[in-house]
Amino acid sequence: MFAALCAAGRRAGARRGFVAAAAVAVAGLALSACTSPSAPVRATSGSATPSSRTVTPTLVAAAAVLPFDVPAKFVVHGGKLVTVTVTGHLHHTPLPGQVGADQASWVSTSLPVPGATYDVAATVTDTAGAAHPMRLTLRIAAVPRSQQLLYGVTPLDGWTVGVNAPVVIRFLRPVQDRATVEGALIVTSTTPVTGSWHWINSSEVHFRPMDPWPAHSMVDVAVNLAGVRAGAGLWGTSDQNIAFTVGDAHVTTVDGVKDTFTVTDNGKVWAVWPTSLGRPQFATRSGSYVVLAKLPTVRMTSCNASITCDKSNVNFYDLTVDWDVRLTWSGTFIHSAPWSVKAQGVDNVSHGCINLSPARAQSYFTFARYGDLVTVSGTSRTSADLVAGGDPGMDDWNVPWATYTAASAGGGQITTGSLTG
């Protein structure tokens, strides 16, 4: 598969989209007493020696380890908060928040990053009005593994892809709040394009442009899921940034009537080869495919293809096949077929795959990349069943654009942001 499982860990303190840290100034109000929680964490004061008439203020976190699923909070005893900044310890990402009306507490206005540590810098006035610079450390609990939303992204960072490449995110647990998760997925490109997210099911979401990506453009996908609540008891724990390059425009056209396999590279014919498709009872589906994966060898059996497991059946096969370019997850490949060379260009004799001679299959294997378009026409079978069944290899380019955007949880089509540099 073209996906790498994202590590469950989270760079402590990092969160995209936070506003810049700002000192919070508040007007003097009457002091309110606060009850100290169990197992408090107390702050250190940077100055001031208490007199018999004043009380040295202290900052106290609500607990030694704060929960990740509610706003972070701390209080002050013996003083009033004047200014507060809270930043991630490792990456200095701010955690925005507000001082209470009584100047005795501070509460974040967004959820903290699970597993993060935050540094608090505050100015506090004591009962005599003297200012004290004070510091406090807030430690946030990590999300239990049973509640973590783990995921993988295709393409991987640094890849060069075809112009029809979808961005695919697969989750290891079903997403309940699709709109919130989709809102945390940001696509930018050097050439802004109209595109849409499209949920295949609750565990897989794709993004593709309305028209093919411009060749030689660059795309960045920001997956900002750390701290995002994806449903009851389900939380994102990590962010990823995936940057990929769109390569040359590779388009392959397969004619099931003429049994030809025509490849173009940036609009110029690269190859025209004879081919053999599926025989009538196993007809290759007409439709638009994209290259999903390349495998040097694959063991293919009629039993795994749900054709027959009976060795005496004429349709039984058990073969090790070379130069395999995957087009669907249900089992359609372009591959080497030395046994059908005489039929290639003449007749359709396969069990549904697209056959090439060994030398041509190897050449195409080297040429092809993830996201290249392959269009098949002239066969007796459509792609409707695979689209209806949610086969990820068929859903992206075989449905009308209005149908594609309707499967977005975020309101339909968007325009990608502009990527510079």
Record the pTM.
0.80
Beta bridge partners of 322: 297
Residue 5 lies in a domain: no
- Say if residue 47 is in the same domain as residue 180: no
Instruction: Place 278 in a pLDDT band, splitting at 50, 70 and 90.
Output: very high
List pLDDT tens digits, range 286-323.
999 999 999 999 999 988 888 999 999 988 999 999 99
Residue 273 lies in a domain: yes
- Mean pLDDT over residues 322-329, rounded? 96
Q: Which of 31-40, 130-139, 339-348 has the lowest mean pLDDT?
A: 31-40
pLDDT at 347 over 70: yes
- Say if residue 223 is in the same domain as residue 75: no
- Structure confidence at residue 210 (pLDDT): 98
Residue 238 lies in a domain: yes
Strand ordering across the sheet containing 354-356: 293-301, 318-326, 333-336, 354-356
**Cα(151)–Cα(180) distance, integer angstroms:** 15
- Structure confidence at residue 356 (pLDDT): 98
- Say if residue 288 is in the same domain as residue 406: yes
Domain boundary among 139, 168, 184: 139
- Say if residue 203 is in the same domain as residue 255: yes
CA distances from 6 to 92, 245, 356 (A): 23, 21, 36
Percent of the chain with pLDDT over 70: 87
Domain boundary among 139, 154, 179: 139
According to DSSP, residue 37 is labeled: P
- Say if residue 158 is in the same domain as residue 130: no
Residue 396 lies in a domain: yes
- Who's near 404: CB < 8 A, 6+ residues apart? 196, 198, 208, 396
Q: Which of 49-63, 74-88, 93-107 has the lowest mean pLDDT?
A: 49-63
Q: In total, how many domains does the chain have?
A: 2
Domain boundary among 139, 163, 188: 139
Residue 3 lies in a domain: no
How far from the centroid of its chain's Cα atoms is residue 287's Cα? 27
pLDDT at 29 over 80: no
- Say if residue 104 is in the same domain as residue 165: no
pLDDT at 28 over 50: no
Beta bridge partners of 148: 235
- Say if residue 174 is in the same domain as residue 186: yes
| Range of the structural domain that residue 169 is part of | 143-421
- Structure confidence at residue 393 (pLDDT): 78
pLDDT at 21 over 60: no
User: Contact, 95 vs 121, CB < 8 A?
Assistant: no
Determine the 3-state secondary structure of 405 from DSSP. Answer: helix
Residue 60 lies in a domain: yes
Neighbours of 400 (CB within 10 A): 8
Active site residues per annotation: 335, 353
Residue 304 lies in a domain: yes
- Say if residue 48 is in the same domain as residue 63: yes
CATH of the domain at 328: 2.40.440.10
- Structure confidence at residue 42 (pLDDT): 59
CATH of the domain at 106: 2.60.40.3780
- Structure confidence at residue 41 (pLDDT): 58
- Say if residue 173 is in the same domain as residue 123: no
- Mean pLDDT over residues 400-418, rounded? 95
Tokens representing residue 76 in the block: 């002050």
**Cα(219)–Cα(224) distance, integer angstroms:** 16
List pLDDT tens digits, range 223-240.
999 889 999 999 999 899
DSSP 255-275: ETTTTEEEEEETTEEEEEEE-
- Say if residue 196 is in the same domain as residue 99: no
CA distances from 197 to 6, 290, 390 (A): 20, 17, 15
Instruction: Place 45 in a pLDDT band, splitting at 50, 70 and 90.
Output: low
- Structure confidence at residue 166 (pLDDT): 97
- Structure confidence at residue 54 (pLDDT): 72
- Say if residue 133 is in the same domain as residue 197: no
Tokens representing residue 64 in the block: 């030694």
- Mean pLDDT over residues 336-355, rounded? 97
| Higher-pLDDT residue of 17, 94 | 94
Residue 307 lies in a domain: yes
List pLDDT tens digits, range 155-208.
999 999 999 999 999 999 999 999 999 999 999 999 999 999 999 999 999 999
- Say if residue 179 is in the same domain as residue 58: no
